Amino acid sequence: MRFRAKIVDLACLNHFSRIINTIAKLTKTCILRLTVCKLYFILSDKIANGGASMWCELSQGNFFDEFQMEGVAAEHNEIYLELVPENLSRALKTAHSAKAVKIKLTNKHCPCLRVAVELPSLSSSSRIVTHDIPVGVIPRRMWNDFREPSVPDFDVSIYLPVLKTMKSVVERMKNLSNFIVIEANLSGEMNLKIETDLVSVTTHFKDLGNPPWASEDGCQSFAQGRDLESMAEACIDIKKLQQLLAGQQVNPTKALCNIVRKRIVHFILLHEEVSLQYFIPAIA
C-alpha cells in the first residue's frame, strides 16, 4: 500500500482546502477512499452519527500535479482510510501561501497521512511544516460498508433556493426548534417549516424548478403522470441541515434535493470538480 501526492498550484490547493473544510463541518470522522483516478470522502449511516450519510467525490487530476497510489492488492487497487477531516483542514490552513503541499501515507509508529507544506522563505532553503495526521486503515473485508449509496426512489426532486437565503432562514429556525420540515412539489415550490409550542414559522420558496430526471425506462419524464401540486415532506434534524448549508463556502453549480416522503432527504451539490451527496434521514 503506497500513496503519495503533490499539489503545486495555489488555486487547486485553496479549492481542495475548501472542500476539506466543508467535509469537516459535516462530520467528525469519515472514510477517505483513494483510487487511481478519484478521491472519495465517505460517511456511512452505519456509524453512529444521527443516521446522516455522505458521499463526496473528486477527480484527483483536477487538484494534484502528482498522484501515485498502489492499493492493498492488484485486483483491489484502492486504499480506504479512516480519518478526522478537521485534522486535515487544520494542516491545510498553514498552506494558504505555500509553494507546494505533499501528502504521503506513512507507517512509522502508526499509520499517518504526512502533510508536508513547503512555505516560501527569505533564505535559499525552504521552510517545511509537516503534519502527521493519524489514520486508520480499513481492511478489505469492510469495504462493502462504504459503497456508493443509490439515489433513492424519491417522490419529489427540486432545485434548492439560493443557498445564502436558505442558510439565513435555517440558522434562525435553528434558534427556535430542533426539527425542521422540508416539503416540496413538482411545481417548483418548497416550504421550510418549524413548529413548537411558542411559535410556528414557514418560509415559502417558489419557481425553483424541478430537475428533469427520466423515469426508469428512460422514455418518460419523471413528472409524467404525477400530481404536480402534491407536497412530499420529511421532518429532519435541523442541525444537520444547518451544518450542510454552513459548510458551503462557494455557490455550487447545481444544488438540488430529492425527498422521499417521511423517509429521507437526499441533497446533491455539484461544483465544477467535486460532487457532494448528503443524506439526512427523516425523524420518525
Partner 1 sequence: MPLSAPPPASGERYLLSASLDNARHLSSLLRAVHFQDHATCFATASGLRVTVEDAKCIQANAFIQAEIFQEFSVQEESVMFRINLSVLLDCLTIFGTSSLPGTSTALRMCYRGYGYPLMLFLEEGRVVTVCKINTQEPEELLDFDFCSTKVVNKIILQSEGLREAFAELDMTSEVLQITMSPDKPYFRLSTFGNAGSAHLDYPRDSDLMEAFHCNQTQTNRYKISLLKPSTKALALSCKVSIRTDAQGFLSLQYMIRNEDGQICFVEYYCCPDENITEAEL
Phi-psi label, residue 92: left if phi above 0, alpha if psi -120 to 50, beta otherwise: alpha
Site for partner 1 in 165-224 (CB under 8 A): 165, 168-169, 172-173, 175-176, 197-207
Smallest separation (angstroms) from partner 1 to the CB of 199: 5
Smallest separation (angstroms) from partner 1 to the CB of 241: 15
Smallest separation (angstroms) from partner 1 to the CB of 166: 9
95 vs 184, which CB is nearer to partner 1? 184
Strand partners, 140: none
Largest CA distance in the chain: 71
71 vs 247, which CB is nearer to partner 1? 247
Grid coordinates representing 172 are 434562525
97 vs 196, which CB is nearer to partner 1? 196
Smallest separation (angstroms) from partner 1 to the CB of 42: 33
Site for partner 1 in 71-110 (CB under 8 A): none
Number of Cβ within a 10 Å radius of residue 274: 21
Smallest separation (angstroms) from partner 1 to the CB of 175: 5
Contact 101, 13 (CB under 8 A): yes
Q: Is 192 helix (H, G, I), strand (E, B) or coil?
A: strand
Contact 280, 52 (CB under 8 A): yes
28 vs 172, which CB is nearer to partner 1? 172
Using CA of residue 157, residue 49, residue 87, residue 42, what is the dihedral sign? negative
Strand partners, 276: 56, 269
Binding-residue total with partner 1 (CB under 8 A): 21
2 vs 164, which CB is nearer to partner 1? 164
Contact residues for partner 1, defined by CB under 8 A = 161-162, 164-165, 168-169, 172-173, 175-176, 197-207
